[in-house]
Amino acid sequence: METTAAEHRVLILAPRGRDAGLAAGILARAGIASRICADPTDLAQAAVEGAGAALVTEEALEGDNDNGVLLCWVATQPPWSDFPFVVLTAPRGDIAQGARAPAWLHQIGNAVLLERPLGAAALASAMRAALRTRQRQYETQAHLAERELVMTRLATLNTSLESRVAERTAELSAAYDQLKKESRERGLAEARLAQAQRMEALGQLAGGIAHDFNNVLQAVLGGLNLIQRRPGDPERVKRLAHMATDAAQRGASITGRLLAFARRGALRAEPVPPVPLLAELREMLAHTLGANVVMQVAADPKLPMLLADKGQLETVLVNLAVNARDAMPDGGTLLLGAAREVVLDAKMHPAGLAPGGYLRLWVSDTGTGMSAATLARASEPFFTTKPLGQGTGLGLAMARGFAHQSDGGFVIESVLGQGTTVTLWFPEAIGVSAASDPAPSGNTAPFVPAARILVVDDDAMVREVLVGEMKEQGYRVFQAGDGLEALAQLDKGMAVDLLISDFSMPGMNGLTLIQEARRRRPALPALLLTGYADASVRSALEGAEARSTALLRKPVSGAELAERAAALLAHAAAPGRQYGC
């Protein structure tokens, strides 16, 4: 049902002075059609003919002369109608404060009171809102009429009902199958897009990571060279070895963060401590963003944890930081911030968040900012102001989508020439704590005497170090360069109490080696070392034999290696278990 021109007009009732003419002029300049009414009766008759809203002054409704006609029309509207009134009140503000609400206020129903004096922009805005409300009512009327028509038609469909139902069921089934297929394809596309964005962010980090790794190598190589030159100075050798160890551990920390950052997989919310997250990002980005960008972090160390997918959150924050860097070609300040926020009213929140506790993260820069037109489209997919080949236009769209998928919010604020702030909200993690590996106790498990260990690694230097570490602990140690050589030694009858194997090896990986070794020696405990183990490796190690298998990520210290080996051997030697395979 289409609406007529009359149904989009505003009826004006303002009997004093030039009020009506001034209001009509303001609305005309705003592109809103209007009609001036002489009295309430005239307004009621015009409303019956069709109107979108009414603009009336308080004094026009104060008298008792013919308000009855208008109030009667309001009371007898059809169920779908709730005609909107905008009432201009006296500047004293009594009505808004409830001091003396007039009798007609409750009878008139859908009324918005605006205190005079009122600017032209505010008046036009209020009337547009009222017209939109009325338009929705007309749409409701159309829907009701359409529903009645459909119900009438359905009442006549009393023949061939079973065949119609069967046909419709087949159509719905086909549509459902198509929907599932499209949903799967969309999920795969979103996963590929997320991974592409993550890889793009990693590319941005490459320069800074290379700088950090070169620093690590400089410290390690320099320390070892000095040790070679001064082998007779034990104190200096000890200090330099400690320095090289610290540098290598810093390199291990970098690779750990990169592996977590680049991982694949669907969104998996977990408790994330915001302060360490921002500190790690600051360290990762320090050399990537350039010396002319000053990075700052503003966050209370006592902040609670947020609930989100950590890897995707890191990707989003890195992309936002790179965008901020690009917006400051001459340098500036980049601020990473976090704060706790409690939302009480969704209508009052800029992101429309549901009531509850949230962690608010923001990335703010002092760059070029955006115009209102650019800001309005900034988070649209594929919209970018960067030159061809320098941006996909997906970063902000993905950030917004990720925040919403995480039951959070997303807002961009920017002023041309003054910088931009991107704010994300994530739910507060209630009643949970961050998962972390238990700290080493410092007390190794009881040593198992005369234990025999087979070390398997395709890297000769790594294998030599592992063999040396275990010999230092008093074990009898054998070695093999790959899985096939290890199995050949077992087939020859080698007595082994523990298998230590690298995961990534040519021909046969460590996990397959453990499985094959246990086909020959079912009770053999195993320790798997890896530089990178994804979820599939971890899940494969779970199950009935989980207590007989341990997984350690390289680089691993000699103390940690010995402690875990002793624990596995002690478990294998426990009562009820056969020791010696």
Domain ranges of the chain: 8-144, 188-259, 269-346+354-427, 452-572
Question: Which has the higher per-residue pLDDT, 36 or 393?
Answer: 36
Q: Residue 580's pLDDT is what?
A: 43
Q: What is the CA radius of gyration of the chain?
A: 36
Architecture of domain 269-346+354-427: 2-Layer Sandwich (3.30)
- Reply yes or no on whether the pLDDT at 186 is more than 50: yes
- Reply yes or no on whether the pLDDT at 540 is more than 70: no
CA–CA gap between residue 497 and residue 317 (Å, rounded):
48
pTM of the model: 0.40
What is the rounded average pLDDT of the residues 244-261?
A: 65
What is the rounded average pLDDT of the residues 462-478?
A: 88
Q: Residue 432's pLDDT is what?
A: 52
DSSP 8-state symbol, 38 = S
Instruction: Give the mean pLDDT of the chain.
Output: 80
* Beta-carbon count within 10 A of 364 CB: 20
CATH 3.90.1200.10 holds for 452-572: no
What digits encode the pLDDT tens for the residues 139-155?
888 888 888 888 887 77
Q: Residue 131's pLDDT is what?
A: 92
- Reply yes or no on whether the pLDDT at 11 is more than 90: yes
Q: Residue 1's pLDDT is what?
A: 54
Query: Which CATH entry fits the domain spanning 8-144: 3.40.50.2300, 3.30.450.70, 3.40.50.620, 3.40.640.10?
Result: 3.40.50.2300
What digits encode the pLDDT tens for the residues 70-129?
888 888 888 888 899 999 987 755 444 444 556 677 778 888 888 888 889 999 999 999
Question: Which has the higher per-residue pLDDT, 226 or 278?
Answer: 278
Q: Residue 262's pLDDT is what?
A: 52
Indicate the pLDDT class of residue 67, thresholds 50, 70 and 90.
confident
Fold equal for 8-144 and 269-346+354-427: no
Q: Residue 384's pLDDT is what?
A: 61
What is the rounded average pLDDT of the residues 517-523?
A: 90
CA-based torsion, 392, 393, 396, 402: positive or negative: negative
Q: Are 230 and 236 in contact (CB under 8 A)?
A: yes
Q: Residue 390's pLDDT is what?
A: 47
* CA 40 from centroid of its chain's CA atoms: 55
Q: Residue 200's pLDDT is what?
A: 63
- Reply yes or no on whether the pLDDT at 405 is more than 80: yes
As given in the structure block, the two tokens for residue 344 are 């009480």
